[in-house]
Structure 1
Amino acid sequence: MTKRVGTDLLAADVHARLRARILSFEIKPGSRLVEDEISATMNVGRTPVREALLRLQGEGLVSREKGWVVESTDPSNMQAIFESRIAIEGYATRLAATRVTSADVTELEALVAEMDRFEAMNRAQLNQLNRAFHRRIIEMSGNPLFVDMHEKTLFHYWNMRLPVIFTKEQTQAANEQHKVILTALTARREAEAEEAAREHVRTTFAIVRDALEGF
């Protein structure tokens, strides 16, 4: 029994470490994951490695076809990805409105103010700020499962490597939507916060969909 518990703990650790590297794109989509190499790198046996990979497969992050491979997201799944984002981010923002603190507001205000300077930064920097803004709101919901699900939807979104370039006007509009979300959160208006978050994701979906139709 002790051995089983020990194996479970090792598998959980391997899973967490591999998952973090996949979600951050340190391990790129399409990369092969070799059990022996992971065992040697992490100094664990093959059993916990295999169990960790099976968990990642269950989460849709890796697949097994002539070996383990990090999933690449098909753009045809875009609608499902955005539907998931609308549901998760919408309700998480609603919960965040019931639990927001003054410190949360200050942090979000700083991120919004920084994003207003988007013309002075590259797209990667703006994306980082945008992700930090949305992740903080998800964290404010107080539900760690929402955080995990949000990370997975973002993984699949960025994994698609979409040929989309947001215009200056679209970026400004997105920043204005961030302010609407923040205003609703600050005032603890739950329904308004949820709808603002949903509308924000719907707007992004429309931009991406239109861009892909012309690609």
Structure 2
Amino acid sequence: MRLRNKPWAKDKLLEYPQYVVHEPEQHRGRWNELFAAAQPLHIEIGTGKGRFITEMARANPNINYIGIELQESVIVSALDRLIEAGLPNCKLMNVNAAELEKYFASGDVNRVYLNFSDPWPKTRHEKRRLTYASFLSVYEQILVDQGEIHFKTDNQGLFEYSLMSFSHYGLLMKFVSLDLHNSGFEGNIMTEYEEKFSSRGNRIYRCEVQYPKK
């Protein structure tokens, strides 16, 4: 689906520095200084229109959250949600996830969320998948010791690929569900895509994996 261009998006992002982090490299290694309270930091890569990250921040005021999204025309919708919610423990970043090490130092992040990432189904695009080994290495560099990745998708092929990628990298499987919405799992917060796909009868896959102790 083609994104509708919003030429005004960049200017709007600049208008709300209390919610959108500009020049994030300046906060590398000291993210707690940017939030109202010093507490664990969770990030969502590919935050889309922001439903998940804002609802997680609302439900867990003792955790700081950052939603990361590359597309300006998408992240402005997340900004609208955040402005309305007025949450002190949630920020947004308009950056490329492949460059996270520029913005986060080792141990800055406690958990990474990957929700309904682009599956990049063609083999030649494997390296673009957010669960490819090079991305797993980036996450490892910024996470605390034994940090976690929580992953959700409706794409069975991507889920199977990701489980293999996690296993080959040496991550520990803490939770795996092949049908999340019929698993009895409590506390699930849906993304916009999740609600749309599940309403069509699509099965939702979810797993939690942890890096081994260093």
TM-score, structure 1 as length reference: 0.25
- Identify the structure with the greater strand proportion: 2
- Identify the structure with the greater helix proportion: 1
Q: Which has the higher contact order (CA 8 A, sep 6+)?
A: 1
TM-score, structure 2 as length reference: 0.25
